[in-house]
Structure 1
Amino acid sequence: MARHRLWTMKKVPFFMCGTMLCLYMIFYKMCCHKGNLLLRNRTNSTESLQYNCAQCAVQEMLRRKEDITGRNATQASSWETFEATQSHLLSSIISLKTNDSRVNGSSSSQVHFEKTTVSKEHLPASNRDLSRIISNTAEKSNKVKLTLKNQRNSWMIWNDESSSSNLSRRLQTVKNSYVSMNKYAVNFTGTRKLRKLSSKELLCELKQRVQVASIEYGDEAFMTSDWQEYLPNKNLLQAVKPFKTCAVVASAGSILRSRLGMEIDAHDAVLRFNGAPTIGFESDVGRRTTIRMINSQLILRQESKFHENDLYKTGILLVWDPAPYSSNLTEWFNHPDYNFFDNYKKYRKSNPGQPFYIMNPKMQWQLWDILQENTAEEIQRNPPSSGLLGIILMMTICNQTDVYEFLPSKRKTDLCHYYEKFQDQACTMGAYHPLMFEKNLVKRINQGPDEDIYLKGKVTLPGFRTFKCPKT
């Protein structure tokens, strides 16, 4: 009996060792299998990354090819026209790149690609010809041909066919309310264009029909002796010398982290709006201010501290106030939208050396008529925004005008102003002003590449004196 117990006790260690060995083999096999799966997934993800980079490389080569071959009247661009099966892929990559640059605080807008070899076996069957396109483009880029379907991506590049259908339901209601309200007694008698005008035709419409002028002593309702003391001796266009290059800096929140400050300051003249500051934002918006356009409401607001704030004491001031659609200067003077005239005189008395002009209100409705004539639907019956008025002003006195963030860039945001925290989609799409239709017009007369809009929110416009129009 004792011998049997001893034999049993000797068997236990062998049994336990065998069990442990079996468990170890099972565990080893599981680990190896999991490792193979991880390795396989990693390989697939690497191949996927290579494929994605190749897709981006194709789009980049197409953009460069289009820049070389020139831009036609429609200005179809690879930024706004993409193969339907590839658009979501490129959108995701660009979005991820943009988010990554925001996190890291990088100001670079370029996407760098490493040389990537993509074999046909690694590509989806439906995109096997993509590798052929890549290899052919590397050798003969001028022979690349790829049919692109028109597909607008409004978040990537402004679509100049934007309409009320692009607005949220709330903004559609606001827009329709302003159309029916008709506060300024708009009686539009023009004819809407049956065809879409070319960029040159639109530029000629603006040049020939929009008269940029400031109020002068002796104008109707400004003939009394006290106005002789306060109004500048020369008209704005007479006093301001012509500039070669000008920058119009919108106050949009999307200009934050743009690093455009040095580029903006490199222009001969810089136009800013209302209370947009430069101190603390120099790297994005620049330092210089040549002209500051303000609305009449700002002069009356106590929080703006118009008479005390040094912000307004730099450069030339230009104020504008909405007038009824068909009114003359006397009617407008007696019933301005905001009665700013006394505050204007007060500022001029305190700062006699600073040029301060009042814009003739006829310009607003001349510009509005062109907007309505070139829009298929009814637009808000309110004057255009300060932004568009400023753009037309600078096109009048400059040979070339670069406009920043009037059309939103890749940094598009609902943040209304770069110096405030308030957010509302209306600041981009418009509510009171027919802002969406203004952006449509500016996009159509843009002479710069669409890449500038996407990367910088930059539109390049010619000066009216740089081209001739047929006599009407």
Structure 2
Amino acid sequence: MARRRLGTMRKACFFTSVSILCLYTVFYKMCYQKGNLLLRHGSNNTGTKQLQCNLMQCGVQEILRGKEDADGSNHEYATRGTFWKTFEAAQKDQLSSEIILKTNNSKIKGSSKPEIQSKKTTVSKDPLSANVVTRDLSRGQQVTDPSIISNTAAKPTKIKLALKTQWSSWMIWNDDSSSNNLNRRLRTVKNNYAAMNKYAVNFTGTRKAKKLSSEELLCELKQRVQVASIQFGDRPFTTPDWREYIPKQNLTQALGPFKMCAVVASAGSILRSKLGVEIDAHDAVLRFNGAPTIGFESDVGRRTTIRLVNSQVLARQDHKFHSNNLYRTGTLLVWDPAPYSANLTEWFNHPDYNFFESYKKYRGNNPSQPFYILNPKMQWQLWNILQENTAEDIQRNPPSSGLMGILLMMTICDQTDVYEFLPSKRRTDLCHYYEKFQDQACTMGAYHPLMFEKNLVKRINRGSDKEIYSQGKVTLPGFRTFRCPNTE
């Protein structure tokens, strides 16, 4: 009798659990479909914004729109001691990966090489892609052994481990990366942004039938992307007050020329890199938004020549732009997204973030510090090249601050070394080196077409794959020294 009662109770619990699960699934699908419908229609109401946040978490949404670095050195995680406790705890969790490395000390027939055991690994069948990735790498987890070469299998599979170091392609960024490399969540967000088309993008260009060479891509960038700042006399910047605030020289006239330049990404993977001395050895160093140096000098260096900031840094009071001494060093440059086909007057009347008064206030209080406004036409000139050289639809949003900063330095420098824009062996989901927030979107992109930007940078890299793996370093030529074949 007791056994019958126990069996009846078990059945009741089972059916109750199944019912709850079914109800939860129905509720989730209803909310998910409603969110996609609102996003595709581009609604701007509060409900839509909340649903956008729900897709990726509100914090991630802030990060992907350039707000990531705005906290600056006053951020609670910007101090070394507090940060490392959080970071090391996160890394400890991350390193408990699903890859099980097991060395077989016994001899293998026909080979003296050890073996490793791997779970749930995947391999791309695309003949253009030599990219072999594990599920852990798609999550952004770190793999520290440079000699692992993985193969795909649904079941645990034995994988040969080469004794000699091999810089296999999956350890560096694969320039054939596509939406297939995104997890389901990020793929959905990417597609929603492409459908929303907030900036009224009307792309009429032609996609390249074949993959351009590195030289051809460099020529496209050099000839078609104009890096320029707003100048007095550009409509509507014609009133007397603008004469006082806008620097007399154009940005590219005032800066440089430099020989060796460094672009320092804010990625969490730069931690423990010990690149600080190397970075500071360059003639000019560019940083982004509120990325601090104090407390992180050994990894990111001390010097700042140029700081490129998003308009949100100026427009939002919580970023403390006017009171934070972080922004008092070097030349400042601010950019703001404009509609795809808008002229300067249309953009001035309807900026993405109304930063103009804040800009004037800062210039009035710091008249000796050079401070430029980036002409927004550069954003879409760069975006057009990205789309033309990508087989699929990319996000119809401006490129990231990172890519625009790289193009700026290529314009004023003979050579530019870019650190951790392409992830290194230290690759991690930690978004920024001075805070604890983690999400794969910070590497793969969601709001910005970041994945396709990385594809382009990998293709024009003049450095070695080993440098990408060990240092996260990409070496790019300057436009002044690079000559386009058959045209110059």
Same fold (TM over 0.5): yes
Does residue 319 (structure 1) correspond to residue 334 (structure 2)? The answer is yes
1:37-63 CA distance string (max 9 Å, x none): xxxxxx973879x945899xxxxxxxx
Does residue 338 (structure 1) correspond to residue 384 (structure 2)? The answer is no
1:264-285 CA distance string (max 9 Å, x none): 0000000000000000000000
The count of corresponding residues between Structure 1 and Structure 2 is 354
Equivalents in 1 of 2:442, 2:391: separation in Å? Answer: 22
Gaps of 5+ in 2: 1-102, 117-127, 148-158
Does residue 471 (structure 1) correspond to residue 487 (structure 2)? The answer is yes
Cα drift, residue 259 of structure 1: 0.4
Alpha carbons 2:142, 2:427 under 8 Å: kept = no
Equivalents in 2 of 1:437, 1:205: separation in Å? Answer: 16
Alignment of 1:375-394 (within 5 A): 375-394=390-409
Provide closer, same or farther for how the CA distance between residues 96 and 159 of structure 1 changes in structure 2, counting only shifts above 3 A: closer
| AA aligned opposite 1:252 | A
- 280-289 or 292-301: bigger deviation: 292-301
1:401-426 CA distance string (max 9 Å, x none): 00000000011111111001111111
Please provide the CA RMSD for this pair: 2.9
| Structure 1 residue corresponding to 2:244, chosen from 222, 229, 232 | 229
Does residue 245 (structure 1) correspond to residue 260 (structure 2)? The answer is yes
Paired residue for 1:159? 174
Give the secondary-structure state (helix, strand or coil) at the position aligned to 1:383: coil
Paired residue for 1:178? 193
Does residue 45 (structure 1) correspond to residue 61 (structure 2)? The answer is no
Alignment of 1:25-36 (within 5 A): none
Give the secondary-structure state (helix, strand or coil) at the position aligned to 1:424: coil
Provide closer, same or farther for how the CA distance between residues 310 and 151 of structure 1 changes in structure 2, counting only shifts above 3 A: closer
Provide closer, same or farther for how the CA distance between residues 265 and 96 of structure 1 changes in structure 2, counting only shifts above 3 A: closer
* Larger fraction in helix: 1
| Structure 2 residue corresponding to 1:413, chosen from 428, 432, 452 | 428
Paired residue for 2:278? 263
| AA aligned opposite 1:268 | D
| AA aligned opposite 2:442 | C
| AA aligned opposite 2:223 | Q
Give the secondary-structure state (helix, strand or coil) at the position aligned to 2:272: coil
| AA aligned opposite 2:144 | T
Provide closer, same or farther for how the CA distance between residues 457 and 44 of structure 1 changes in structure 2, counting only shifts above 3 A: closer
Cα drift, residue 396 of structure 1: 0.2
Provide closer, same or farther for how the CA distance between residues 365 and 44 of structure 1 changes in structure 2, counting only shifts above 3 A: closer
1:165-207 CA distance string (max 9 Å, x none): 1001010110000111000000000000000000000000000
Equivalents in 2 of 1:375, 1:246: separation in Å? Answer: 28
- 298-307 or 368-377: bigger deviation: 298-307
Alpha carbons 2:231, 2:250 under 8 Å: kept = yes
Equivalents in 2 of 1:47, 1:359: separation in Å? Answer: 62
Alignment of 1:17-416 (within 5 A): 45=105, 51-52=112-113, 98=144, 152-153=169-170, 156-416=171-431
| AA aligned opposite 2:172 | I
Cα drift, residue 302 of structure 1: 2.2
Equivalents in 1 of 2:259, 2:401: separation in Å? Answer: 22
Equivalents in 1 of 2:115, 2:454: separation in Å? Answer: 34
Equivalents in 2 of 1:227, 1:451: separation in Å? Answer: 48
TM-score of the two chains, using structure 2 as the length reference:
0.68
TM-score of the two chains, using structure 1 as the length reference:
0.70
Equivalents in 2 of 1:54, 1:162: separation in Å? Answer: 28
Equivalents in 2 of 1:168, 1:368: separation in Å? Answer: 23
Provide closer, same or farther for how the CA distance between residues 394 and 53 of structure 1 changes in structure 2, counting only shifts above 3 A: farther
Cα drift, residue 378 of structure 1: 0.2
Cα drift, residue 152 of structure 1: 4.5
Does residue 461 (structure 1) correspond to residue 476 (structure 2)? The answer is yes
| AA aligned opposite 1:471 | T
1:51-80 CA distance string (max 9 Å, x none): 45899xxxxxxxxxxxxxxxxxxxx9xxx9
| AA aligned opposite 2:317 | Q
Equivalents in 2 of 1:52, 1:417: separation in Å? Answer: 38
Equivalents in 1 of 2:142, 2:483: separation in Å? Answer: 45
Cα drift, residue 241 of structure 1: 2.1
Give the secondary-structure state (helix, strand or coil) at the position aligned to 1:270: strand
Equivalents in 1 of 2:185, 2:169: separation in Å? Answer: 23
**Structure with greater Cα Rg:** 1
Equivalents in 2 of 1:441, 1:96: separation in Å? Answer: 23
Equivalents in 2 of 1:204, 1:219: separation in Å? Answer: 28
Gaps of 5+ in 1: 1-42, 56-75, 100-109, 112-125, 135-147
Does residue 422 (structure 1) correspond to residue 422 (structure 2)? The answer is no
Cα drift, residue 250 of structure 1: 0.2
Give the secondary-structure state (helix, strand or coil) at the position aligned to 2:185: helix
Give the secondary-structure state (helix, strand or coil) at the position aligned to 2:198: coil
Alpha carbons 2:142, 2:426 under 8 Å: kept = no
1:438-465 CA distance string (max 9 Å, x none): 0000000000000000011100000001
Give the secondary-structure state (helix, strand or coil) at the position aligned to 1:402: strand
Give the secondary-structure state (helix, strand or coil) at the position aligned to 1:466: coil
Alpha carbons 2:174, 2:455 under 8 Å: kept = yes
Provide closer, same or farther for how the CA distance between residues 287 and 180 of structure 1 changes in structure 2, counting only shifts above 3 A: same
Provide closer, same or farther for how the CA distance between residues 47 and 287 of structure 1 changes in structure 2, counting only shifts above 3 A: farther
1:296-322 CA distance string (max 9 Å, x none): 011122222100101000000000000
Equivalents in 1 of 2:143, 2:317: separation in Å? Answer: 43
Equivalents in 2 of 1:98, 1:444: separation in Å? Answer: 24
| AA aligned opposite 1:98 | T
Cα drift, residue 98 of structure 1: 2.9
